[in-house]
């Protein structure tokens, strides 16, 4: 407050003293090879800073992507849900390093009461282009199911030509928002993979159950299972045939009958969680609803005019 001319409305200023580490500090640590948290503890215990500014060398380039439970296509609205499936890559591509900082694990709930950040994904490589390519690769192998997340948006941003060229300003996302948030519909292969998983045919045989390895056995022809899925408002009906050699043949009915039959030996990356199956294609997770036949039977039995137990 400047009171030299008396207290006036235009003589008040706000200054923030932010003496904590910022959320971006892993980027600094990656390019300097330092541990800033360790430095804080050393200084707090009375020691001097381990290095002076002139002794710090900047090596390579780093990116940090913050994975949030949010819906990028709806203005980045926060999302909630249970993290039924959460899996990060074991390592970065060759020539790069990565670190994952997270305080949640599979089974945890994302509530509306706290910041919905799931993880900070940080990559480091020799230069900006290599680091950006590593970021895209790591995002494409990150799997989250149970809540809407921004992983696909982050991967699209990392692949954006303007961002890749370093032509960045504060309106970049707003200018490219449609392209960055638009997700292609699932392919026939993705739908067929979900159908295999929903039918139960893709479950790995149990080593303790000799009969579980005979999922496709029949005396005269391969076993066929009919299964139903929903993707958004579309209901999908599929016939899944299990062949003797372990391959699956999937025939999809309308509205996806133009995909014809698909042959599979194994299903791609996917997650099964209550009432749903999520198939991962790159950084995009396609979530299908699996109708519960018992619930449908209960609804039919409890129709209008039917007696119901209290």
List residues with catalytic annotation.
20
Helices first, then strands: H and E counts in the chain: 9, 16
Q: Distance of CA 134 to CAs 29, 31, 40, 165, 168, Å?
A: 17, 15, 30, 16, 19
Question: What does the block give as tokens for 43?
Answer: 């200084």
**What Rg value do the Cα atoms of the chain yield, rounded?**
26
> β-pairing, 143-145 with 223-231?
unpaired
Question: Please, are residues 216 and 242 in contact by the beta-carbon 8 Å criterion?
Answer: yes
Number of C-beta neighbours around residue 82 at 10 A: 16
Question: Please, are residues 185 and 193 in contact by the beta-carbon 8 Å criterion?
Answer: no
Q: Determine phi and psi for 236, rounding to 5 degrees.
A: -120, 130
Three-state SS for 43? helix
Dist. CA 264–CA 272, nearest whole Å? 18
Instruction: Note every long-range contact of 158-163, with CB atoms under 8 Å and residues 24 or more positions apart, other chains counting.
Output: 158/63, 158/65, 158/132, 163/132
């Amino acid at each position: 407050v400047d009171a030299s001319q008396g207290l006036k409305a235009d003589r008040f200023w706000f200054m923030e003293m932010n003496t904590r580490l910022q959320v971006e500090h892993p980027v600094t640590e990656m390019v300097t090879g330092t541990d800033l948290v360790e430095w804080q503890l050393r200084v707090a215990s009375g020691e001097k800073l381990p290095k002076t500014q002139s002794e710090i060398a900047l090596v390579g380039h780093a990116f940090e992507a913050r994975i949030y439970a949010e819906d990028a296509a709806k203005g980045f609205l926060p999302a909630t849900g249970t993290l039924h499936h959460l899996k990060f890559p074991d390592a970065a591509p060759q020539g790069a390093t990565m670190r994952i900082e997270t305080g949640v694990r599979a089974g945890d709930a994302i509530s509306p009461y706290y910041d919905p950040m799931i993880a900070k994904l940080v990559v480091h490589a020799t230069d900006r282009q290599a680091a950006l390519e590593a970021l895209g690769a790591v995002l494409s192998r990150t799997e989250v199911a149970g809540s809407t997340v921004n992983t696909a948006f982050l991967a699209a941003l990392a692949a954006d030509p303007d961002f890749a060229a370093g032509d960045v300003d504060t309106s970049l996302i707003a200018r490219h928002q449609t392209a960055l948030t638009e997700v292609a519909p699932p392919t026939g292969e993705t739908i067929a993979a979900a159908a295999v998983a929903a039918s139960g045919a893709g479950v790995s045989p149990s080593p303790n159950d000799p009969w579980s390895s005979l999922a496709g056995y029949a005396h005269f022809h391969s076993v066929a299972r009919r299964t139903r899925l929903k993707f958004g408002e579309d209901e999908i009906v599929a016939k899944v045939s299990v062949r003797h050699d372990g391959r699956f043949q999937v025939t999809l009915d309308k509205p996806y009958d133009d995909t014809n039959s698909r042959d599979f030996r194994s299903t791609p990356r996917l997650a099964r969680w209550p009432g749903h199956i999520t198939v991962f294609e790159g950084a995009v997770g396609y979530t299908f609803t699996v109708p519960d036949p018992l619930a449908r039977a209960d609804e039919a039995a409890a129709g209008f005019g039917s007696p119901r137990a209290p």
